[in-house]
Amino acid sequence: MAKTKSVYVCQNCGVDSPKWIGKCPSCGEWNTYVEEVVSKDNTPKVVMGGLEITKQKPILITEVETSEESRFDTSCNELNRVLGGGLVPGSLVLIGGEPGIGKSTLVLQVVLNMKGKRTLYVSGEESVKQLKLRAERLKFENPDCYIVSETSLEQIFVHVQNIQPDVLIVDSIQTISTEMIESSPGSVSQVRECAAHLLKFSKTTSIPVLLIGHINKEGSIAGPKVLEHIVDTVLQFEGDQHYMYRILRSIKNRFGSTSELGIFEMQQSGLREVSNPSELLLSQNHEGLSGVAIASAIEGVRPFLIETQALVSSAAYGTPQRSSTGFDLRRLNMLLAVLEKRAGFKIAQKDVFLNIAGGIKVNDPAIDLAVISAILSSNVDIAIEKHVCVAGEVGLSGEIRPINRIEQRILEAEKLGFKKMIIPEYNLKSLNLNKLNIELIQVKKVEEAFRVLFKR
């Protein structure tokens, strides 16, 4: 007979305890322990989804036969780019994001556009009528798309056996539960076991599975951390609800790069792919406005131009404020120290506010020169010329350090009509200047860049 006992499990990190604890000793969170019933049964368990367990034996790595498997085209170029070229057969992809950011809309839109592929969309949060209304709003049709509202993992595998889909979507993993565990849906044990069975299913049948996951108040995927470890790809869907842009960022990818970026624009009829983000991230006209500098950045393999905005004003209080949106605040403090020490500009007693236009976050160090140029432009109240673009990393000694993939940045600036571009001197040696129609200005230190930008 099965022995039944209960343990207390932290809903934040998954650590269990035989008794209730107020503060988790592992993650330090308060009041996260919830009682869960654990059943130990010595009888053999039923194999999920009717899958047979095959015994494996170790073989030499040189004897393993490999073949180049073709990826599934998701019919969404931005999603294909982030995934590394498409959806790999047998892969398990997790898409996370804040509530209302558009995760379900993105996945349903992709599913409806996958012509010729039989898909099964399992929703544990919405009814089939709600999914139908959303599909009508998106104005897409796919005769091979099946939808079902189900929260039982066992029933989901029954539907899979009956339909035999090419792609399976589960929305969301926190709403799915299995009868093998006596705990509520969304608990650590339920999420862990359901994800493990879905992983086994995808690897055995070579059917790709897309999981939609919730996030907690800290911004990470809700549930146990093992959920992010067992999946093949983790995609983060970001964006401010006050902005119309949505960013799909790869956090983990076993089949591609983790530095890729996909940009979408939220509209009434769904998500529109932004093929040229530079035009959207630049304001229509900033001529005559101080505190604005155009930087050439790269995320993944995609170059784009972004608008860096800065405001420097006299400190209203005793302690000057330092605020940054879309840029690392610690790096901003470092650049301000470089301006103070190496360039001789006294801004220690002034408030400095920095903003990356469009609501995106940029980690490329090549926008350092644009950041300090925008700050100095606002400080002296002199506007930077409209057709000037900058790119360069700033060192602690005030030098302009070389950056990678400079030719792609220059071609992007040239394509958008910029006449001049300030680049590090060491990057000019490897360039072929004959085919470029943009004036390149080489600088070694920040003082040289300031003389070019502020000739007055």
What pLDDT does residue 284 have? Answer: 63
Are 271 and 296 in a shared domain?
Answer: no
Does 444 map to a domain?
yes
User: Which residues does the annotation place in the binding site for ATP?
Assistant: 97-104
At which of 250, 275, 300 does a domain end?
Answer: 275
What's the CATH number where 114 sits? Answer: 3.40.50.300
For 197, phi then psi, to 5°, come to: -70, -35
Structure tokens at 89: 């057969």
pLDDT at 45: 45
Residue 260 and residue 144 share a domain: yes
Same structural domain for residues 208 and 294? no
Residues 164 and 126 occupy one common structural domain: yes
Query: Which of 251, 275, 299 finishes a domain?
Result: 275
Please indicate, yes or no, if residue 156 is contained in any of the structural domains.
yes
Task: Looking at 167-296, list the stretches that DSSP marks H as alpha helix, in order from N- to C-terminal side.
Answer: 188-205, 226-230, 277-281
Name the binding residues.
97-104
Q: What CA–CA distance (Å, rounded) separates 253 from 258?
A: 6
**What CATH number does residue 388 fall under?**
3.30.230.10
Question: Is residue 228 in some structural domain?
Answer: yes
Q: Are residues 294 and 438 located together in one domain of the fold?
A: yes
Q: 340 and 444: one domain?
A: yes
Q: Do the domain assignments include residue 445? A: yes
Q: DSSP secondary structure string, 375-414?
A: HHHHHHT-PPPTTEEE--EEPTTSBEE--S-HHHHHHHHH
100 and 80 share one domain: yes
Which pLDDT value is given to residue 124?
92
pLDDT of residue 44: 42
Contact (Cβ atoms closer than 8 angstroms) between residue 165 and residue 171: no
Rounded Cα–Cα distance for residues 391 and 401 (Å) = 10
Residue by residue, pLDDT tens for the chain (456 residues) are 456 678 888 877 778 888 899 998 888 888 888 887 765 554 444 445 444 445 678 889 888 887 766 888 888 999 998 998 899 999 999 999 888 888 999 999 999 998 888 999 999 999 999 999 999 998 888 889 999 999 999 999 999 999 999 999 999 899 999 988 878 888 888 888 899 999 999 999 999 999 999 887 766 777 677 788 889 999 999 876 666 788 898 889 998 888 788 888 888 888 888 877 777 677 666 777 899 999 999 887 788 899 999 999 988 777 889 999 989 999 999 999 999 988 888 888 899 999 998 778 888 899 999 999 999 999 999 999 888 999 999 999 999 999 988 888 998 888 888 899 999 988 877 677 777 888 999 999 999 999 999 875
In a domain, 47, yes or no: no
The tally of domains found in the chain comes to 3
Q: Is the peptide bond before 275 cis (omega within 30 degrees of 0)?
A: no
What pLDDT is recorded for position 54?
52
Whether 173 and 271 share a structural domain: yes
What range defines the domain where residue 134 resides? Answer: 72-275
Residues 149 and 8 in one domain: no
DSSP code, position 13: T
| pTM exceeds 0.95 | no
Same domain, 32 and 127: no
